[in-house]
Amino acid sequence: MADAAEVLERKLAARDKTIAALMKRVEGASANNNNAFSTFEQNIRLEQVVARKTEELKAAQDRLLREIEVQRALEVELRHAQKLEAVGRLAAGVAHEINTPVQYVSDSLSFVREALADLSRYIQCSRELSAAVIAAEPAHASAQGCQELAEEVDLDYLLENLAPAVDRALDGLGRVASIVRALKRFAHPGSAQMAPADLNEAVASTLTIAANEYKYVAELVTDYGELPLVTCHLGDLNQAVLNLVVNAAHAIADVVADSGARGTITVRTLHDGDHVQIEIGDTGGGIPDEIRERIFEPFFTTKDVGRGTGQGLAIARSVVHDDHGGELSFVSERGRGTTFRIRLPVMPQRSS
Ligand SMILES: Nc1ncnc2c1ncn2[C@@H]1O[C@H](COP(=O)(O)OP(=O)(O)O)[C@@H](O)[C@H]1O
Ligand SMILES: [Mg+2]
């Protein structure tokens, strides 16, 4: 795209030169040849040349605009496909993330249910006891029965553990709810218009649903600065952040391999005047010098098929740079790790 614009610029410059050269010739001709008719003829020829050149350039410009449009549409499609792919891949991880709390909700409720059965037996027994006492009947045997039952069902244990079991179940449900909320936020189709958004909340949601991608290889450290609402296409930014987080997890996984060691992913946000920054750092192997120039190229990947498609950074760059007028940069040190930084205007100039 940029290349095509440059070519057009060069052509325009060439046209200006041609015109300048022709003017010189006309001037030269009129200086040493006072023949008015020949000057007139030259002028006509000059105008014809200019008109033809202008037409050609106009056609070239139209072609270029059409090409740009086609490319835009392709880019949107590509981005959409990558998002679907990411959501698909995350689905397995999210299912797993939800499954764990669901498991302990289920265990806790089983305990509560059994405890209730034991408690009802005990309550039944103590009712019989109090009925006997009220009727002034001999209640000794009944009381004895109650006591034995209390021991049999371990009444103290039940009473001690019922409330915590319910709390565990509530915790688990809270966890499930927060994962579902995060997923909804992430997958939100978003509007065509930019809208003010809480980027800390968005980053936290993205980290929640991507947890399964990194939690086996990395500790997550977050440092959320106070941010103003940022006017943006939130869904696209979520995708960019996700791509960076997945890359960080991959870089760490490559370093720790099967050693059982874990790296660290550090996510920071901060407010800097009329910009905000989101930084995603990893303790992976760093980016080799020889590929630094290439990592943002669409389809450039050093990963096996299935693990990488080479689109993550190309899309992140296009979202941050082209759509939001921001910057996507990185610092990387071999053997120590890499930090990617998204820098965004709080209020973008372009409203595409
Ligand atoms: N955090 C990182 N650490 C090391 N290398 C990275 C990191 N992020 C990206 N890369 C390199 O850049 C390449 C392109 O990344 P990306 O566009 O996300 O595609 P993919 O992850 O599918 O390979 C990766 O294959 C990898 O070589
Ligand atoms: Mg990637």
48 belongs to a structural domain: yes
pLDDT at 195: 93
125 belongs to a structural domain: yes
Asked whether residue 218 falls in the same domain as residue 284, the answer is: yes
The answer to whether 21 touches 45, Cβ cutoff 8 Å, is no
The answer to whether 12 touches 57, Cβ cutoff 8 Å, is yes
Neighbours of 269 (CB within 10 A): 20
Asked whether residue 233 falls in the same domain as residue 322, the answer is: yes
Does 243 score more than 90 pLDDT? yes
Q: The whole model's pTM is what?
A: 0.74
Asked whether residue 128 falls in the same domain as residue 197, the answer is: no
Asked whether residue 135 falls in the same domain as residue 202, the answer is: no
Does 210 score more than 50 pLDDT? yes
* Half-sphere exposure in the Cβ direction for 174 (13 Å, CA): 6
Range of 136's domain?
106-179
For residue 267, give the 3-state DSSP assignment. Answer: strand
pLDDT digits 0-9 by tens, 244-296: 999 999 999 999 988 889 999 999 999 999 999 999 999 999 999 999 999 99
Asked whether residue 127 falls in the same domain as residue 202, the answer is: no
186 belongs to a structural domain: no
pLDDT at 31: 60
**Alpha-carbon distance values, 230 to 151, 245, 284 (Å):** 62, 20, 30
88 belongs to a structural domain: no
Asked whether residue 212 falls in the same domain as residue 282, the answer is: yes
- Of all residues in the chain, the percent with pLDDT exceeding 90 is 67
58 Cβ inside 6 Å of ligand 1: no
pLDDT digits 0-9 by tens, 318-332: 999 999 999 999 999
Count of the separate structural domains present in the chain: 3
282 Cβ inside 6 Å of ligand 1: yes
For residue 231, give the 3-state DSSP assignment. Answer: strand
Mean residue pLDDT of the chain comes to 90
pLDDT at 26: 67
Atom of ligand 1 nearest to the CA of 248: 1
Asked whether residue 144 falls in the same domain as residue 235, the answer is: no
318 belongs to a structural domain: yes
* Mutation to probe ligand 1, out of 79, 267, 291, 295 (largest number of atoms < 8 A from CB): 295
300 Cβ inside 6 Å of ligand 1: yes
If you average pLDDT over residues 339-344, what whole number do you get? Answer: 98
pLDDT at 10: 84
Asked whether residue 269 falls in the same domain as residue 172, the answer is: no
pLDDT digits 0-9 by tens, 45-61: 888 989 999 999 999 99
Asked whether residue 236 falls in the same domain as residue 316, the answer is: yes
80 belongs to a structural domain: no
pLDDT at 352: 47
Asked whether residue 33 falls in the same domain as residue 111, the answer is: no
287 belongs to a structural domain: yes
**Alpha-carbon distance values, 306 to 4, 131, 187, 216, 336 (Å):** 33, 72, 22, 19, 26
Residue that terminates a domain, selected from 49, 72, 95: 72
Buried (b) or exposed (e) across 10-30, using 16+ Cβ within 10 A? eeeeebeeeeeebeeebeebe
83 belongs to a structural domain: no
Higher-pLDDT residue of 76 and 318 is: 318
Asked whether residue 157 falls in the same domain as residue 239, the answer is: no
Question: Which of the ligands is closest to the CA of residue 284?
Answer: 1
pLDDT at 83: 81
The answer to whether 265 touches 252, Cβ cutoff 8 Å, is yes
pLDDT digits 0-9 by tens, 80-100: 888 888 878 888 888 988 998
